[in-house]
Amino acid sequence: MSLVNASEEIRRIMTPDDITTMLSNADPGAISNAERAALHAMVRTTTGRGRLRRFAPRSAATIMITGALIAVGGAAAAATLSVWHPWAQHPDLTAQYTMTDGQQCEYRIVFEPGTTEAARTALTEAFTNSEVLTPAAVDAAIAAIRADPGAQRDADTGEPMGYGTAHYNAEWEYFNAVNAVVLSHVSDLGASQELATRGQAECE
Amino acid sequence: MRVDREACVSAIEATAPDLLAYFRRRLPKEDAADAVGEVLTVAWRRVQHMPDDPHEARLWLFGVARNVLLQAIRSAVRQTELSARLRALAVESAAPADAGITVRDALGRLSEEHAEVLRLVHWDGFSLTDAAAHLGLGDSTMRSRYHRAKASLRAELSVHAD
């Protein structure tokens, strides 16, 4: 079909008719002024001065962060953002850490039903034992991750995020390396199959 | 890549009401607010991919919204504190029964691909070209699908008017 004919066809089929009118009158998408105001605040909360990034994909049941990066306790850097999921309001484990670009992050872990006492103990130890998450261990984990560029994938699109790919993200890689070290420790203790957690990380 | 934060915020602010309407047309009203919250979070995480052109940015945000919608359909939308206020307003402003319910019911009886084309064009304000891009279709495919969708809706309405 030529461009001229296509344009004519579009004009013809888009001409207002009975269906157009009926659909217009049936639109359930009306937004009130109060909702517009709430949306405005919502957008500013998300995209405002406090940069917000979520590092825990919805599919991550066993993401953790730990060790030498963590200063447990103290002021919660991201607590004022009011972005925590309801299940993350009362975490079992909390960590504050600094990403490679200097962003302050808070990571909250919640144990889900199914986590055994042994698994809780193993994870808690991984969080608190400074010999678990050493720089050397993280470097080794990064090397292992880079050996498989397809290992890191975007939680939303499934696109590869590994080293050398278009969507490579050094912070995300570091985050995954830390998780890998912790999971390895928990696995060494024989508890990885008994671990069920949810995690949410927020940075600003 | 350098990100113009204010331009991104402006693009998101300009599109946010339309995103809420988009979800309200496709999800239970109280879930729409949470879906918008998810779009904002995802959009900001991937903001380096947001096009500079306002129209392209709007289409990009709707692309994010479509992914969130598909995810929401597969699993319950997560409730967040971020969207709590908006969710409460949605419940307060629940629409009364209206004449449009007949048309919406008829739309609901169409195939999803026909219904979605009509929602995009007549409710979300997409041109046929933009709707084609949004759904990953060619322009000619979109035109024929739109033709068939309107005919199907007209037939549904006629059947129930008899």
The confidence band for B131, taking pLDDT boundaries of 50, 70 and 90, is very high
**pLDDT score, position B92:** 60
Using CA atoms, how far apart are residues A152 and A64, in angstroms rounded to an integer? 15
Among A8-22, A66-80, B120-134, the range with the most confident prediction by mean pLDDT is B120-134
Tokens of B65: 């919204």
C-beta of residue B36 within 8 angstroms of C-beta of residue B86: yes
The more confidently predicted of residues A183 and B12 is B12
Which of A3, A11, A27 to substitute to test the interface with B, most B CBs within 10 Å?
A27
User: What average pLDDT score do residues A140-158 get?
Assistant: 73
Q: How far is CA A68 from CA A22, A32, A98, A138, B131, in A?
A: 63, 49, 11, 10, 50
The confidence band for B1, taking pLDDT boundaries of 50, 70 and 90, is very low
- Environment class of residue B123 by beta-carbon count within 10 Å: exposed (0-12), middle (13-18) or buried (19+)? buried
Considering only residues 55 to 84 of chain B, which have any Cβ-Cβ distance to chain A shorter than 8 Å? 64, 67, 71, 75, 78-83
Question: What is the pLDDT of chain A when averaged over all its residues?
Answer: 66
The more confidently predicted of residues A55 and B98 is B98
Using CA atoms, how far apart are residues A67 and A135, in angstroms rounded to an integer? 10
**pLDDT score, position A64:** 33
Using CA atoms, how far apart are residues A183 and A150, in angstroms rounded to an integer? 19
Output the pTM of the full model.
Answer: 0.53
Tokens of A100: 């490679």
A109 φ, ψ (degrees, to nearest 5): -120, 135
**pLDDT score, position A77:** 35
The more confidently predicted of residues A203 and A108 is A108
Percentage with pLDDT > 90 across chain A = 0
Partners of A80 on chain B (C-beta within 8 Å) are none
Amino acid at B16: A
Using CA atoms, how far apart are residues B67 and B71, in angstroms rounded to an integer? 6
For residue B157, the chain A residue with the least C-alpha distance is A19
**B9 has a chain A CB within 8 A of its CB:** yes
User: What average pLDDT score do residues A117-141 get?
Assistant: 77
Partners of A41 on chain B (C-beta within 8 Å) are 85
**B5 has a chain A CB within 8 A of its CB:** yes
Count of pairs with CB atoms under 8 A, one residue in A, one in B: 144
**pLDDT score, position B19:** 95
Tokens 């169409």 sit on residue:
B110
- Give the CB-side neighbour count of residue B123, counting CA atoms within 13 A: 28
Using CA atoms, how far apart are residues A50 and A53, in angstroms rounded to an integer? 10
Chain A: give the shortest CA distance to residue B55, in Å. Answer: 18
* Helical pair B29-45 and A33-47, crossing angle rounded to 10 deg: 30
Question: Lowest-confidence range among A113-122, A146-155, A180-189?
Answer: A146-155
Sequence-distant (≥ 6) Cβ neighbours of residue A42 within 8 angstroms:
B16, B36, B37, B40, B82, B83, B85, B86
Q: Residue A203 forms beta bridges with which residues?
A: A53, A105
Using CA atoms, how far apart are residues B120 and B117, in angstroms rounded to an integer? 5
> pLDDT by residue (tens digit) across A38-63?
888 777 766 533 333 333 333 332 23
The more confidently predicted of residues B100 and A54 is B100
Q: How far is CA A177 from CA A64, A163, A181, A183, B55, in A?
A: 10, 12, 6, 10, 38
